[in-house]
Amino acid sequence: MIRIDEEFKNLIQPLTDDEYKGLEESILKDGCRDKLVLWGDTLIDGHNRYEICQKHNIRFETMQKDFASRDDVMLWMIDTQFSRRNLEAPDRILLAQKKAPILERLAREKQLKTLRQNSENRFVHLDKTEKKESSDSKPIVDQMGNEVGAEVAVKPIQKHVPKEQPKPIHVREEVAKIAGVSSGTVARFEQVQKKKPEMIEAIRKHEISINQAYQTVKREEKESAREEKRQENAVKVEKLRSPLEAQGLFQTIVIDPPWDWGDEGDINQFGRAKPDYHTMPIDEIAKMPINQIADENCHLYLWVTNRSLPKAFRLIEKWGFRYITCLTWVKPYFGMGNYFRGSTEQVLFAVKGSQMLKRKDVGTHFNAPRGDEHSAKPDEFYQLVESCSYAPYIDIFGRKERDGWSVWGENA
């Protein structure tokens, strides 16, 4: 009776559905042409053929193969698969991962045996008699005039033989060597196995590459760490007396500066649209602690009129952000204007660090009605921000309280 050893069976890389189907069709048509290989009564080669033959009651032949140990059997089984199948990198790595630990164990056993032998013979005794003669080669005589032998007995010398240190065994490098890939590829594959094992089958089916799977794992790890930090920051924000006292807590900053058009070269650019709030010159706005309150990964939404765009770009650089793109609020009708009449307003989007958006289906313009107050920003904008960027949120120079937001400004 043929015995199936589960440890041996697990060394066999599973066939794909198409491979198994092809093998079954071949056996049904031509019979089982290759002999199954046994070690004693244990099957060591032909597990899929054996299963198919049992299923369809097809005759098969066997042959015996001798090995000194289970380790020798397993190494032979793995090497047979390497030589018999045209394996892709993921399957070669999986096989190599099964072979390398066996080689490592055998190597360590050999090293321990060597160390024990060295330990037993760590002292070499040198039993020699050294002859010592005076510099003038004259015989030595005692007080009675009798010559004393020139040979002096010397105690045996013990020479210490240092222990041989075991050589380090680098399993990952061994796996890479066996699989014929770089150790970096093996390292990335191992990370996917550890963090997202369900992706291994997709890699084997060529639905995703090893590198793509690894990048997915790293992104999820990074996002998990960031989310944990957001939660911690949110708790700290609630304890602040003023949001501007924050130290690196906010991951999203919206700011609508009270631009003073007087520093743009004209005495009066307000006209009928003159605001009902205090304005600030560009130098004062630049001194605001935006970089201080921003997390190391932060999104900045800077409201600016078309006329003040040059100043806004300078602020972004001053605050330690890098400009990414411009979002445009398309208003339903014309406003004021000394040249063209304004029907849009801009939001410069800038980032600090490497925080990506929550979504990738948002364009660079949005339509929304005007607010009831001068310079009031639409709720649609805040909904857009919350769908794209992460808390904690702060609205600087905001006009009203918002759930989930810190708001700072004289009209808040």
Question: Residue ranges of the domains in the chain?
Answer: 6-86, 240-408
- Measured CA to CA, the distance from residue 272 to residue 276 in angstroms comes to 11
The answer to whether the beta carbons of residues 387 and 358 sit under 8 Å apart is: yes
- Measured CA to CA, the distance from residue 355 to residue 368 in angstroms comes to 27
The answer to whether the beta carbons of residues 409 and 399 sit under 8 Å apart is: yes
pLDDT of residue 347: 98
- Measured CA to CA, the distance from residue 124 to residue 160 in angstroms comes to 7
Residue with tokens 């047979």: 80
pLDDT of residue 112: 82
- Measured CA to CA, the distance from residue 305 to residue 113 in angstroms comes to 80
Q: What is the DSSP letter of 165?
A: P
pLDDT of residue 182: 94
By CB neighbour count within 10 A (0-12 exposed, 13-18 middle, 19+ buried), where does 338 fall? exposed
Sign of the torsion angle spanned by Cα atoms 327, 333, 339, 340: positive
The answer to whether the beta carbons of residues 336 and 374 sit under 8 Å apart is: no
pTM exceeds 0.85, yes or no: no
pLDDT of residue 196: 94
| Phi, psi for residue 99 in degrees, rounded to 5 | -85, -40
The answer to whether the beta carbons of residues 286 and 321 sit under 8 Å apart is: no
- Measured CA to CA, the distance from residue 216 to residue 30 in angstroms comes to 45
pLDDT of residue 14: 86
Q: What is the pLDDT along the chain (412 residues), one digit of tens a residue?
A: 899 999 999 998 888 888 899 999 999 999 999 999 999 999 999 999 999 999 999 999 999 999 999 999 999 999 998 887 788 999 999 999 999 888 888 888 887 887 777 776 655 544 444 444 444 555 555 555 555 554 444 455 555 555 555 566 688 898 999 999 999 999 999 999 999 999 999 998 889 999 999 999 999 998 888 888 888 888 888 777 777 888 888 999 999 999 887 776 655 554 545 555 678 899 999 999 999 999 999 999 999 989 899 999 999 999 999 999 999 999 988 877 778 888 999 999 999 998 999 999 999 999 999 876 667 899 999 999 999 999 999 999 988 889 999 998 766 5
User: Superfamily for 240-408?
Assistant: Vaccinia Virus protein VP39 (3.40.50.150)
Distances (CA, A) of 90 to 104, 168, 181, 208: 21, 26, 10, 11
H or E element at residue 169: none
Long-range contacts of 69-72 (CB under 8 A, 24+ apart): 70/7, 71/102, 71/105, 71/106
Which of 236, 262, 266, 261 is closest to 248 using CA atoms?
Answer: 236
